[in-house]
Each structure stands twice: as structure tokens, then as C-alpha cells.
Amino acid sequence: MQRMNLLAIETSTELGSIALWREGELLRRACPIGVAHSETLLPLIRATLGEAGLRFADLNAIAFAAGPGSFTGLRVACGVAQGLAFAHDLPVIPVGTLEAMALSGAGQRVIVALDARMGEVYYAFYVGGVALAAVAVCDPAALPLPESSGWLACGNGLKAYPALRERLSPCVYEWQPELMPDAGCVARLAAVRLAHGETVDAADAAPLYVRNKVAQTVAERLANGGKA
């Protein structure tokens, strides 16, 4: 698995990053804060490749965090991955955003809760890195509880919705509310999949939105105490 090179892109939230898996070594760089990912990704990728002494021709695949997350961010990551893959005849590896977060959490049993805005969270449960069910979205007060204790909970949904932390407290032993999606873990998961030939054609890569609704209506914002 180590004798491979791949690029990973993660822009599911405002804290974007990229990572290079270079024959078993990981080189990660963060996107500039406060600037649109669409403006910074390609210059950052080129600079990081140059720093690593690699060319696009040296890559074996391009990975990206497919979602869920910011709809715009997911489209940017997918679009850049597809464009580079088409241009350099490379396969693509979509990686679930919450799956990568669970790996970063480094627990055996992990609950991932990512703020989905609009008063909701994206969530999933992982045991040994394997999802117990598909990623879903719900009101924090309605998040299902595991039947056992000893879980690690991570993600900014825990900070965005204090009631969620209270709801999960009977089954959680460790909290990581500061943990956010990161390209390094996307690259680590993608390297394993590349070694097993688990890639897709660039044309078949697509974001995982989980929900279809992009924003609340004016009436819904007012009902939730927001502004028109």
C-alpha cells in the first residue's frame, strides 16, 4: 500500500485542507481561511505537489471528501477532483466525510455529529471504523441513542447544539467537539481503497448531500427565531 501517491481534497466545511499520500508519508496543508475554496484549492495543490517533489503524472489517484457537508464545498471538492482526474487520466476515490472524522477521532466506537445548519446535524455511528447504518440528518433532540455506553463523540455538532451533548451524555465517555473534517484522514482511507482497487471513473464521482434542502424558507427562519 505504501508505494503509491495520491492527492486528497477536503472542503466539506469552511476549514478546507488537502493532503498528499506520498509512498506512505502524509503531507497536509490547510486552505487559507476567509477565502473561497474555489479560489485557493488549485494554487495550494500545485504548491504542495512542488514541495513534495511530485507532478500530477506521479499520482495514482485523486480522493475527495464526498460529504455530507456544505453543499457548495462538496461541489467544489468533487469538481476539482473530477477536473484533475480527467486532465491527467486518473481514477477518483470518494470518501465519506463522517467516516474520515471517525478515523480522526481514534476511538473504537465513535459517534460523529457534524453541524448541518438549519437546526440539524449529520450523524453516524462507527464501530471499528465500520458504519452501523447510513449517514443521516436529524434534529439534535431526535438523534437516536446507542444501546451501550463507552462511546467517543466528535464533531462541531456537539458545540453547535448543547442539547445534543446532554442527550448523548449517558453513553459517551470522551468528547471531541473541536474535531473537524480533515484531508489527512481522507488520504489515509483512500490509500487503503486504492490498494484494493476501489476507485471510480471521474465521470461517476458525485457528492453525498444526504438531504435535498439547501436553505430554510423565510417562514421557517422566523419560526426558529431568525430574521427574514
Distances (CA, A) of 200 to 6, 93, 99, 159, 190: 14, 6, 18, 35, 12
Which residue ranges form the domains of the chain, and what is each CATH number?
A: 5-97+182-204 (3.30.420.40), 98-176 (3.30.420.40)
Three-class DSSP category at 173: strand
Q: What count of Cα atoms within 13 Å lies in the side-chain half-sphere of residue 219?
A: 0
Q: Would you state the pLDDT for residue 217?
A: 33
C-alpha cell at 88: 491527467
Q: Would you state the pLDDT for residue 167?
A: 95
Spatial separation of the C-alpha atoms in residues 108 and 16, rounded to whole Å = 26
Peptide bond into 68 cis (omega under 30): yes
What are the 10-residue block averages of pLDDT along the chain, 228 residues in total?
87 97 95 94 97 96 98 97 98 98 96 96 97 96 94 98 95 97 98 97 97 45 38
Q: Would you state the pLDDT for residue 3?
A: 78
Contacts of 68 (CB under 8 A, 6+ apart): 12, 74, 97, 98, 114, 116, 122, 135, 137, 208, 209, 210, 211
User: Which residue, among 138, 117, 76, 141, has the nearest Cα to 215 in the 3D structure?
Assistant: 117
Type of residue at 12: S
Three-class DSSP category at 145: coil
Q: Would you state the pLDDT for residue 211?
A: 84
C-alpha cell at 139: 434534529
Q: Would you state the pLDDT for residue 1?
A: 54
Instruction: Please say whether the beta carbons of 208 and 67 come within 8 A.
Output: yes
Q: Would you state the pLDDT for residue 148?
A: 94
* DSSP one-letter code for 212: S
Q: What does the DSSP assignment read for 49-115?
A: HHHHT--GGG-SEEEEEEESS-HHHHHHHHHHHHHHHHHHT--EEEEEHHHHHHHHHT-SEEEEEEE
Instruction: Please say whether the beta carbons of 109 and 168 come within 8 A.
Output: no
